[in-house]
């Protein structure tokens, strides 16, 4: 691996291209990235856990691209999305005439992933029958297409993912424990975004850069007050929700900076909930002084309905100093 740039904050910056970069500056994410980089070149089966949108598929692709199988296929299968009746033939293929509609021999995902990596997403959603079949493939490293009397050797690495707690699914009898232990050879948990607020500004700017590349627009970045909102929002949909919010904001932004007014209402309304309640902000203890200052000036300006003379008096600074800060923090949208 040859990460370029700041390899303390990113994994895979080098030959993988921007798309595959994994952002992680928080202590929690750095721990994850250390594991990921260690385990990538091995053949080990990996189980990725974490809430929806925390980056499980991203990490799975990274593991593949950093492995000896990188030139082989990466096949992602969403186990929850395949209709129960089709799942066997989708996973294992079928022979001609296996059932009424089987006019041709069809390769399943396991065969397609031969020589590469098979990513089994939402593994907790598989039926008991499919679980038995998966277990057998994992044990024997061969698949039997539906209707066939032969087995095919497959050479692939399995990466499974779930946003459920597999242990409680096991306890409830919904997930086989023998399959769990086959998959859980090495597990990596991706922490929710609200537990790694330090990553938010980096992720947000990364998404903005990608959007800029895609749309051909040039963005300078996300303004400090907008960042303060992003950092303080809880992101139940994690990185995916942040990505969508940045995309929406980029579409709405008039200039090269993302402003608070460009953010989705749930972010700007609940991101700093106490802004409207009138007492001290629930500030994360990782904001810079500038972020706090930008936040507070915005709050005062909003309370004074954009009147700079009143706001300057309240803040104990001159009108010209206030104006300078308004420009510095891109607060023009709240002044009158
Ligand atoms: N650490 C990260 N650095 C850069 N991009 C990230 C990171 N984490 C997630 N993303 C991006 O966020 C989006 C959601 O990530 P991904 O699809 O991997 O999540 P997931 O855990 O598979 O979600 P789900 O459970 O909903 O399928 C993707 O566009 C992904 O590229
Ligand atoms: Mg996913």
pLDDT in tens, 207-258: 999 999 999 999 999 988 899 899 989 999 999 999 999 999 999 999 899 9
State whether the beta carbon of 50 lies less than 6 angstroms from ligand 1: yes
Burial degree of 84 (CB within 10 A; 0-12, 13-18, 19+): exposed
For residue 195, what is the DSSP state? G
Domains of the chain listed by start with CATH number: 10-191 (3.40.50.300), 195-334 (1.10.8.60)
Q: For a substitution probing ligand 1, which of 190, 235, 239 has the most ligand atoms within 8 Å of its CB?
A: 239
State whether the beta carbon of 57 lies less than 6 angstroms from ligand 1: yes
The pLDDT, as a whole number, for residue 269 is 75
- Residues in the chain, total: 336
C-alpha triplet 165, 191, 236: angle, nearest 5°: 85
CA distance 2 to 13: 8
Instruction: List pLDDT tens digits, range 49-105.
Output: 999 999 999 999 999 999 999 999 999 999 888 887 888 889 999 998 877 777 888
93 Cα to the center of ligand 1, angstroms: 29
The pLDDT, as a whole number, for residue 6 is 38
**Cα 124 from chain centre:** 19
CB 245, CB 230: distance < 8 Å: yes
DSSP 259-270: -GGGS-HHHHHH
State whether the beta carbon of 24 lies less than 6 angstroms from ligand 1: yes
237 Cα to the center of ligand 1, angstroms: 10
Instruction: List pLDDT tens digits, range 25-59.
Output: 999 999 999 999 999 999 999 999 999 999 999 99
Residue minimizing CA distance to atom 25 of ligand 1: 52
Residue minimizing CA distance to atom 13 of ligand 1: 240
Ligand 1 nearest atom to the CA of residue 56, by list position: 21
State whether the beta carbon of 243 lies less than 6 angstroms from ligand 1: yes
Retrieve residue 66's tokens.
């950093």
The pLDDT, as a whole number, for residue 245 is 98
State whether the beta carbon of 13 lies less than 6 angstroms from ligand 1: no
Question: pTM here?
Answer: 0.78
143 or 6: whose pLDDT is higher? 143
Percent of the chain with pLDDT over 90: 65
CB 23, CB 9: distance < 8 Å: yes
State whether the beta carbon of 240 lies less than 6 angstroms from ligand 1: yes
Per residue in 57-72, is it b (16+ CB within 10 Å) or e — as a string?
bbbbbbbbbbbebbeb
């Amino acid at each position: 691996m040859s990460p370029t740039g700041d390899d303390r904050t990113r994994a895979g910056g080098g030959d993988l291209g921007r798309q595959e970069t994994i952002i992680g500056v928080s202590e929690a994410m750095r721990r994850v990235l250390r594991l990921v980089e260690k385990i990538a070149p091995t053949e080990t089966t990996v189980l990725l856990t974490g809430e929806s949108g925390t980056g499980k598929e991203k990490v799975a692709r990274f593991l593949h691209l950093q492995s000896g199988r990188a030139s082989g296929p990466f096949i992602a299968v969403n186990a929850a999305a395949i209709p129960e009746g089709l799942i066997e033939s989708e996973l294992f293929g079928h022979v001609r005439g296996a059932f009424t509609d089987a006019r041709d021999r069809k390769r399943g995902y396991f065969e397609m992933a031969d020589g590469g990596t098979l990513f089994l997403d939402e593994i907790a959603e598989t039926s008991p029958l499919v679980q038995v079949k998966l277990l057998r493939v994992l044990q024997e490293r061969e698949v039997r297409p539906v209707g066939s009397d032969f087995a095919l050797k497959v050479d692939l690495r399995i990466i499974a993912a779930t946003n459920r707690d597999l242990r409680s699914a096991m306890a409830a009898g919904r997930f086989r424990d023998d399959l769990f232990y086959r998959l859980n050879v090495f597990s990596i948990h991706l922490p929710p975004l609200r537990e790694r607020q330090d990553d938010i500004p980096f992720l947000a700017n990364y998404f903005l850069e990608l959007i800029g590349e895609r749309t051909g627009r040039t963005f300078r970045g996300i303004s400090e007050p907008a960042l303060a909102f992003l950092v303080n929002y809880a992101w139940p949909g994690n990185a995916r929700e942040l990505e969508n919010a940045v995309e929406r904001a980029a579409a709405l932004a008039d200039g090269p900076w993302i402003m608070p007014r460009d953010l989705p209402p749930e972010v700007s309304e609940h991101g700093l909930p106490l802004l409207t309640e009138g007492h001290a902000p629930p500030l994360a203890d990782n904001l810079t002084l500038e972020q706090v200052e930008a936040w507070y000036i915005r709050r005062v300006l909003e309370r004074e309905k954009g009147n700079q003379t009143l706001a300057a008096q309240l803040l104990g600074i001159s009108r010209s100093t206030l104006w300078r800060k308004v420009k510095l923090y891109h607060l023009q949208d709240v002044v009158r």
